[in-house]
């Protein structure tokens, strides 16, 4: 699912917690501005958009205060660095263009504030960032392993995550499930067996925002993980040309989505429903479930008043060789620019290390009230849904496949799934259409990216 979609629907969080206040106080003791040596190194941090900053979803004045507090603390602890200049501006959709323009203009960049979406899809392939696998080993144990996986490509780490974590899950009407006697968490067979109960109650089992086509690939992230056993590895082989999108596991991923429709769980009505319609139907008790990401939670907290809602992980499907893998990860990180002068590399790594200290990460992550965070030791939300997600979903979270696919493949996949749900496309034809799209991309010289 495109990163823009995930970011757009996150809301402002509540004011700083007492833990955050304590972190601010402790850091303020070592963050007197202007104490660093004037003749030291200046680190240049480049961000492709205004979201590529610390605490980017906070009010502007609060965001600047938090970021400056972090920078001042780093300068005090590292007197060989005189300044950290952080240049992040513009809309997220222009991130790659802004970075490429800066690169062509030979703009000095030492560190790049790097969204996982673009790191996987463009920055590594265009050699804009360098591997730092060995550099981070002394402090790697501070970083959530799944979060680090979002910045790991072909076994090499290219960035350190410095954000909250997202995952994908099924939201459900707790009261209705209890009334109908449906187990929680349910198996796939439990959901299939409950379809007649939902119909008797006059409730749609599961409604998806199907008219918002970019959201369909999220279903494939789930089913392909189970069908292949290694969704990331198999996708990379497809893109390298050593495997195909028409292989048996790829086709099976589409068949499993069709099974949700054929078994009556996923409603075909989803094709005409947008995000607002999906949310409204659930809040009104007209649908029992919907599938989405943790970015849905602010909307649920605001709109669902008549019943209790909960979460459970996308279930294991019978006969599949692979374990469940739920799309998600850390949205933002810090990468080292491939053009960094060698004499600045140590200082750049020191800055990344500083950002991973729990007391520092608390400063810029706690305002977001994270369900889960990329840095260990940051306070997390303790509501029942958050505890359940950390127990069931986050340990099985893998990076979104559209962080890896070319955009053309993502679009073709979305269209193919809509056809499968509507009954106009077979799983075999869906896989063939994606392979054709990819072959055309290569034939036109647009893959691999130059």
More confident residue, 18 or 430: 430
Provide, rounded to the nearest whole percent, the portion of the chain with pLDDT above 70: 91
Which pLDDT score, from 0 to 100, does residue 92 have? Answer: 84
What domains can be seen in the chain, in order of their start residue? 3-166+329-396 (3.40.190.10), 168-325+406-443 (3.40.190.10)
Confidence of residue 293 (pLDDT cuts 50, 70, 90): very high
**What are the b/e assignments for 278-297, b being 16+ CB within 10 Å?**
bbebbbebebbbbbbbbbbb
- Answer whether 155's CB lies under 8 Å from 404's CB: no
- Residue in the block written with tokens 């002394």: 138
Of 101, 102, 129, nearest in space to 113 by CA: 129
Which pLDDT score, from 0 to 100, does residue 154 have? Answer: 87
Number of DSSP helices (H) and strands (E) in the chain, helices first: 18, 15
Confidence of residue 72 (pLDDT cuts 50, 70, 90): very high
* pLDDT mean across residues, the chain: 91
Of 140, 98, 136, 142, nearest in space to 118 by CA: 98
- Whether pLDDT at 17 is above 50: no
Which pLDDT score, from 0 to 100, does residue 322 have? Answer: 97
- Per-residue pLDDT tens digits for 175-234: 999 999 999 999 999 999 999 999 999 999 999 999 999 999 999 999 999 999 999 999
Confidence of residue 449 (pLDDT cuts 50, 70, 90): confident
> What burial class does residue 97 get, using C-beta atoms within 10 Å of its C-beta: 0-12 exposed, 13-18 middle, 19+ buried?
exposed
Alpha helices by DSSP H, listed for 241-357, are 248-262, 275-283, 297-303, 345-355
**What are the b/e assignments for 422-439, b being 16+ CB within 10 Å?**
eeebbbeebbbbbbebbe
What span, in angstroms and rounded, lies between the C-alpha atoms of 181 and 183? 6
- Per-residue pLDDT tens digits for 129-179: 999 999 999 999 999 998 999 999 989 999 999 999 999 999 999 999 999
- Dihedrals φ, ψ of 41, to 5°? -70, 140
What span, in angstroms and rounded, lies between the C-alpha atoms of 398 and 222? 10
For every residue of 103-170, which 3-state class applies, written as one string? HHCCCCCCEEEEEHHHHHHHHCCCCCECCCCCCCHHHHHHECHHHHHCCEECCEECCEECCEEECEEE
Q: What average pLDDT does this structure show over 357-372?
A: 96
* Tokens linked to 440: 């055309």
């Amino acid at each position: 699912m495109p990163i823009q979609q995930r970011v757009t629907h996150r809301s402002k969080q509540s004011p700083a917690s007492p833990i955050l206040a304590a972190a601010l106080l402790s850091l303020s003791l070592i963050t007197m501005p202007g104490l660093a040596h004037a003749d030291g190194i200046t680190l240049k941090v480049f961000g492709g958009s205004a979201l590529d900053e610390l605490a980017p979803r906070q009010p502007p004045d609060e965001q600047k205060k938090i970021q400056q507090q972090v920078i001042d603390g780093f300068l005090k602890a590292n007197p060989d660095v005189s300044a950290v200049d952080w240049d992040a501006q513009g809309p997220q959709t222009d991130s790659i263009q802004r970075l490429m323009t800066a690169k062509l203009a030979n703009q000095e960049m030492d560190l790049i504030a790097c969204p996982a979406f673009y790191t996987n899809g463009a920055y590594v392939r265009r050699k804009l960032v360098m591997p730092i696998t060995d550099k981070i080993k002394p402090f790697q144990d501070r970083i959530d392993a799944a979060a680090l996986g979002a910045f790991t490509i072909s076994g090499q780490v290219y960035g350190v995550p410095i954000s909250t974590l997202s995952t994908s899950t099924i939201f459900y009407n707790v009261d209705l499930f209890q009334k109908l006697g449906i187990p929680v968490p349910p198996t796939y067979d439990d959901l299939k067996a409950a379809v007649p109960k939902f119909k008797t109650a006059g409730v749609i089992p599961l409604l998806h925002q199907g008219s918002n086509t970019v959201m369909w690939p999220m279903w494939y992230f789930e089913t392909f993980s189970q069908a292949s056993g290694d969704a990331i590895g198999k996708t990379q082989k497809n893109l390298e040309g050593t495997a195909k999108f028409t292989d048996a596991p790829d086709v099976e991923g589409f068949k499993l989505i069709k099974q949700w429709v054929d078994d009556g769980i996923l409603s075909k009505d989803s094709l005409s429903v947008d995000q607002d319609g999906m949310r409204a139907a659930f809040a009104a008790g007209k649908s029992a479930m919907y599938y989405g990401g943790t970015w849905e939670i602010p909307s649920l907290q605001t709109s669902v008043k008549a019943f209790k809602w909960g979460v459970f992980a996308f279930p294991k499907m019978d006969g599949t060789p692979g374990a469940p893998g739920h799309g998600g990860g850390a949205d933002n990180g810090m990468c080292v620019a491939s053009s960094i002068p060698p004499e600045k590399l140590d200082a750049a790594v020191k800055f990344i290390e500083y950002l991973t200290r729990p007391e520092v990460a608390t400063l810029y992550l706690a305002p977001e009230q994270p369900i889960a965070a990329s840095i260990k030791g940051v306070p997390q939300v303790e509501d029942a849904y958050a505890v359940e997600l950390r127990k069931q979903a986050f340990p099985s979270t893998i990076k979104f496949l559209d962080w890896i696919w070319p955009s053309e493949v993502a679009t073709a996949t979305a269209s193919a799934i809509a056809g499968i749900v509507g009954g106009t496309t077979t799983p075999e034809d869906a896989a063939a259409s994606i392979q054709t799209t990819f072959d055309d991309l290569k034939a036109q010289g647009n893959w691999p990216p130059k």
